[in-house]
Amino acid sequence: MKHKQYILENLEITDAGAEGKSVAKHEGLTIFVTGAVPGDIVDALVFKKKKSYAEARCLRIIQPSPHRIPPRCEHFGTCGGCKWQMLDYQQQLFYKQKQVTDNFQHLGHFEYPEPQPILASESQYGYRNKMEFTFTHQRWLSQEDMLAQQEGKTIEIRGLGFHVPSKFDKVLDIQQCHLQAEPSNRIRTAVRDFAIRQEIPFYNLRNHEGLLRNLVIRMSSTGELMVILVVTDLNEQAKCVLDFLSTEFPEITSLQYVVNQKMNDSTSDQEFHTYKGQPYMMEKMGELDFKVGPASFYQTNSRQAYRLYQVAAEFAEIAPNDIVYDLYTGTGTIANFVARNAQKVVGIEYVEAAIEDARVNSSINHIDNTVFYAGDMSKVLTPDFVQQNGRPNVVITDPPRNGMHPDVIEQLLLMEPQRIVYVSCNPATQARDLTLLNEKYQVTRVQPVDMFPHTQHVENVVQLQLRTFTQNNTES
Residues 345 and 370 sit within 8 Å (Cβ to Cβ): yes
Closest CA to 347 of 315, 317, 371, 314: 371
For 129-167, b/e burial (b = at least 16 CB within 10 A) is bbbebbbbbebbbeeebeeeeeeeeeeeebbbbbbbeee
Closest CA to 268 of 260, 279, 277: 260
Whether omega before 427 lies within 30 degrees of 0, making that bond cis, reads no
Residues 37 and 15 sit within 8 Å (Cβ to Cβ): no
H or E stretch covering 360: helix 352-364
The CA distances from residue 352 to 314, 355, 371, 379, 446, in Å, are 29, 5, 13, 15, 32
How far is the C-alpha of 406 from the C-alpha of 436, rounded, in Å?
9
**Catalytic-labelled residue, pool 73, 79, 82, 425:** 425
How far is the C-alpha of 112 from the C-alpha of 443, rounded, in Å?
5
Side-chain-facing half-sphere of 245: CA atoms under 13 Å: 31
Q: Residue 416: left (phi > 0), alpha (psi -120 to 50), or beta? A: left
How far is the C-alpha of 170 from the C-alpha of 163, rounded, in Å?
6
Helix, strand or coil, per DSSP, at residue 459? strand
Mind spelling out the 3-state secondary structure of 145-180?
Answer: HHHHHHCCCCCCCCEEEEECCCCCCCEEECCCCCCC
For residue 88, give every residue at least 6 positions away whose Cβ sits within 8 Å of its Cβ, in sequence order, or none.
67, 68, 69
For residue 436, give every residue at least 6 positions away whose Cβ sits within 8 Å of its Cβ, in sequence order, or none.
406, 409
Beta strand pairing call for 53-63 and 29-34: parallel
Phi, psi of 324 (to 5 degrees): -115, 130
425 noted as active-site residue: yes
How far is the C-alpha of 123 from the C-alpha of 102, rounded, in Å?
26
Catalytic residues: 425
